[in-house]
Structure 1
Amino acid sequence: MGYFRCMLRNRVSLYLVLAGGSRGNGDGDEATTPALALGGEGGIVADLISCLEAVLEEKSGELAFPGLRQVFMLNNKDAIVRRAVRSDLAMFLLSGWARAREERMDRYIKSYLDVSWTPVMSRLAAVAAKPATVTVLRRRRDPLATFNSVLENACSAQRCWKVPRPVLRHVLRRTVSEHVMPAYRRCVEEVEQPAAVRTER
């Protein structure tokens, strides 16, 4: 986050430069937010942050594991928002700037869930879709063996992924749990249900 540190170290100069173009229109009207006079939507500071975000998006494309790109962007987007709104840079940003980033973070979480956990969920769906064969399969092997294997692979792949902020870790764990556990319970109930009961449906 050297990008942010640079802006914060030079925030006074940055304020003066931006304010220079927004001292009023000659009729006594003063601009309310200096940064909004220059640059694109939100001003130069917002443009600079957008450039940083674009670089991060580009870097995330180099990550190979499904879901890691979303986690990488989630971590960095969260860090950007927290550092911006808790610093003097907040005065240069539009009121809806942080909310727009939070909505992007929600999309990263949804995308992470889709990319990382859809393959796992598909194994549960495959077991639930063939209840008539479950009894036969149980004689030879656990019908959930494939699911357990894919689940273990997913957990092993993500074990070293870092989410430094505890709040984000909690959100990700809760989201995965709410997505996977209900489907898992339904599948287990279907597998353990006597064949006669399934036939009567």
Structure 2
Amino acid sequence: MPQGGEVHPCVGFWMGYFRCMLRNRVSLYFVLGDGDGDGGEGGLSLVAELISCLEAVLEEKSAALAFPGLRQVFMLNNTCAIMRRAVGSDLEPFLPPEWIRAREERMERYIERYMDASWAPVVSRLDRGGRTKPSAISRRWDPLGEFYSALENACSAQRGWKVPDPVLRGLLQETVVESVVPAYRQYLEDHPEVQVAVGRTAEELEQQLSDLFEG
């Protein structure tokens, strides 16, 4: 089981097997009862069902990963890998018209769930600071310190996480940056009295987050 959330080896094996199976589609159609050899609904449903079975196995395997966010990264990587192996290959003609869009929407949900699990709790530390002048009671809280601590914990936990596909990796990095950095920059603007630690400018934070998912 890949511990960094990367593509499971079974994806390449089974997607290759499905393609090999279709190369012998005359025999396959005979088994399906499609004597015309054009695939028909039987061929379409079979390929989609086989891939769905593979996806279900991957969902089960994701439960073995320790972090909720990592499970989403794992499913994101593997869904992307399945699409890369299906689209433009000899599998694509045997997939329903809505298949690609359904996987794209699924990947969007994986990204949303990853952000909710991994970064929403980090950004929420800044919400406690508000935009008003700190009172004697509120000075006991240290939203910025809590944010730094949560940030380091998140980055440390994700240090070994990998997104092999460069386009997907760039998208995920951009999503994290656009969620965390503006909130941090806004907090600093709203609280000019706080002392920003060395190496903690918004630009340096952006660079730190841009190094995620490299493994």
Q: Deviations over 1:129-159 (max 9, x none)?
A: 664238984xx99751111111011011111
1:9 deviates by 2.2
Q: 1:62 — aligned with what?
A: 64
Residue correspondence of structure 1 range 137-152 to structure 2 within 5 A:
137=139, 143-152=143-152
Q: 2:197 — aligned with what?
A: none
The 1:122–1:131 alpha-carbon spacing in structure 2 relative to 1, beyond 3 Å, is farther
Unmatched segments (≥5 aa) in structure 1:
25-30, 195-201
Q: 2:109 — aligned with what?
A: 107
Count of aligned pairs? 182
Unmatched segments (≥5 aa) in structure 2:
1-11, 195-215
Q: 1:153 — aligned with what?
A: 153
Tell me, yes or no, if the aligned pair for 1:134 and 1:143 is still in contact at 8 Å.
no
How far apart in 2 are the matches of 1:98 and 1:110?
A: 19
Q: Deviations over 1:101-141 (max 9, x none)?
A: 0110000000100010111011011122664238984xx99
Q: 1:11 — aligned with what?
A: 22
| TM-score relative to the length of structure 1 | 0.80
Q: 2:33 — aligned with what?
A: 21
Spell out structure 1 runs of 4+ moving beyond 4 A. 140-143
| TM-score relative to the length of structure 2 | 0.75
Which of structures 1 and 2 has the bigger CA Rg? Answer: 1
How far apart in 1 are the matches of 2:181 and 2:29?
A: 52
How far apart in 2 are the matches of 1:15 and 1:97?
A: 24
Aligned to 1:113, what secondary structure does the other structure show? helix
Greater shift in the superposed pair: 86-95 or 15-24? 15-24
Alpha-carbon RMSD: 2.6
Q: Of the candidates 24, 37, 40, which is equivalent to residue 42 of structure 2?
A: 37
Q: Of the candidates 78, 88, 91, which is equivalent to residue 90 of structure 2?
A: 88
How far apart in 1 are the matches of 2:48 and 2:159?
A: 35
* The structure with more helix, counted as a fraction of residues: 1
How far apart in 2 are the matches of 1:8 and 1:18?
A: 14
Q: Which has the higher contact order (CA 8 A, sep 6+)?
A: 2
Q: Deviations over 1:15-66 (max 9, x none)?
A: 5423763346xxxxxx8x615235xxx4101100000000000111111113
1:86 deviates by 2.5
